Amino acid sequence: MESSNIVMHDKKVIFTPCETYLEDDINSALEKLFQELGGLNHFVQTGQKVLLKVNLLMKKPPEAAVTTHPALVEAIINKIHALGAKVIIADSPGGPFTRSWLKGIYHDTGMEEVAARTGAQLNWNFEQQEYPNPEGKILKHITLAKIIKEVDVVISMAKLKTHGFTIYTGAVKNLFGTIPGLLKAEYHLRMSDVRDFCDMLVDVAQFVKPELSIMDAVIAMEGAGPSAGDPKQVGLLAASTNPHALDLACCHLIGIEPKRVFTLQKAIDRGLIPMDIKGLEIRGIDINNFKPIPFKVPITSRARHVPIPLPARLDAFFYKILRPYPYFNHEKCVGCAVCARDCPAKCIKMVNGKAQADLSSCIRCFCCQELCSYQAVEIKRGKLSRLLFRQ
């Protein structure tokens, strides 16, 4: 499977209204998206295998706005099948990349029902393979779920959400789910600085090169995303052949400045996207008169650095002492131990059936919050951080 680098530098982003997940609304919105992109048959041909890389972060029902909505997935599958191609639904979410773990996620997120209704396949291939990546900045070798390179077309279907570690998660970070299972925790540990981590995410996106990226922004998530935030009605679908451009446009949509999102900054540094929204070709909305829909952002976004320029060493010092930290609410904690099992730094232990963290070893990736189905992990800030970052 190979894609053109020219596609990954495309500056076109399409938006179209889609107020609900009702079949008529979704089909109408998709028709408009694909028409602006030259037709779905521009990306998918008869006889091909198409992998839909959806966001299946955890066992959550569609109405929680944590995962790609199954109604949208089903509508796209039907359109791909109409072209005579086959569809595989796939993701490697947080936790082990195993049949037992994925089976529950496929069921709870609605993907099992979608596959049964449409005849699409759920991915049960758990093989992984390492590939050379000489063009990578962080990853000179990359290990992927093998299925990614066994298909003809990859379509990424992200969910528009804020994120405790990277501030924003969308088309580029969705591709982190091509990294198999618990290897993602190793990457978090190796690249505990969010800037390095986001550089790695750009490496992954550039290697996978999805033919098309689609954003589920009908109902998005704000606040303590990607799993503990609040659903937010946006009423849009968006698409681009360039996942970096799609993320730049969506950050403008929700009022997050590109300089706050390191995946965007790293993409800008590499010349993959322009410095701001003015350099993109936006269709479907009048970007000059468009007022962003303000999103609540995680408190972590207000505690990265002090609000004045400092020498690198002093900046690193303040970054360390100002970092927010995970707080385990034992009234909500049910003792499932998922956070302890999947903690990249292995700093969480179960004591008397409740999670406790050694903050001296914590790398502040907030995977514990991301993977907690019971919202028992909260992110807190110290007094100095609250004083400096009042907004």
Question: Within a 10 A sphere around the Cβ of 103, how many other Cβ atoms?
Answer: 13
Distances (CA, A) of 249 to 145, 151, 257, 359: 29, 28, 10, 36
Question: Domain boundary residue among 283, 310, 331?
Answer: 283
Q: Is pLDDT at 2 greater than 60 in this prediction? A: no
269 lies in the same domain as 312: no
The CATH number for 323's domain is 3.30.70.20
Q: Is residue 260 part of a domain?
A: yes
The answer on pLDDT for 320 being more than 70 is no
Count up the domains in the chain and report the number. 2
Please provide the DSSP assignment of 199-262 as one string: HHHHHHHHHH--SEEEEEEEEEEESSTTTSSEEEEEEEEEEES-HHHHHHHHHHHTT--GGG-H
Please name the residue that has the structure tokens 């048959």. 41
**57 and 196 housed in the same domain:** yes
* pLDDT (0 to 100) of residue 383: 66
Domain that holds residue 371: 302-388
Q: Does 304 score more than 80 pLDDT?
A: no
**Are 381 and 265 in the same domain?**
no
Does residue 155 share a domain with residue 78?
yes
Across the chain, what does the average pLDDT equal?
Answer: 91
What percent of the chain has pLDDT above 70? 90
In a domain, 293, yes or no: no
Is 291 inside any structural domain? no
pLDDT of residue 4: 42
CATH number at residue 105: 3.40.50.11440
Domain boundary among 283, 316, 349: 283
Question: Do 259 and 313 lie in a common domain?
Answer: no
Considering the domain architecture, whether residues 273 and 368 belong to the same structural domain is answered as: no
Instruction: Assess whether 141 and 265 both reside in one domain.
Output: yes
Confidence band, pLDDT 50/70/90 cuts, at residue 318: low
Q: Give the residues across from 143 on adjacent strands.
A: 130
Q: What is the pLDDT of residues 229-272, one digit of tens each?
A: 999 999 999 999 999 999 999 999 999 999 999 999 999 999 99
Question: Given this model, what pLDDT does residue 136 score?
Answer: 97
CA distances, 363 to each of 170, 202, 344, 375 (Å): 22, 21, 8, 20
Q: Which of 315, 246, 243 is nearest to 283 (CA)?
A: 246
What whole-number distance in Å separates Cα of residue 54 and Cα of residue 50? Answer: 12
- Tell me: do 245 and 323 sit in the same domain: no
Q: Do 271 and 313 belong together in one domain?
A: no
CB 185 within 8 A of CB 342: yes
| Same domain assignment for residues 308 and 250 | no
> Is 292 within the bounds of a domain?
no
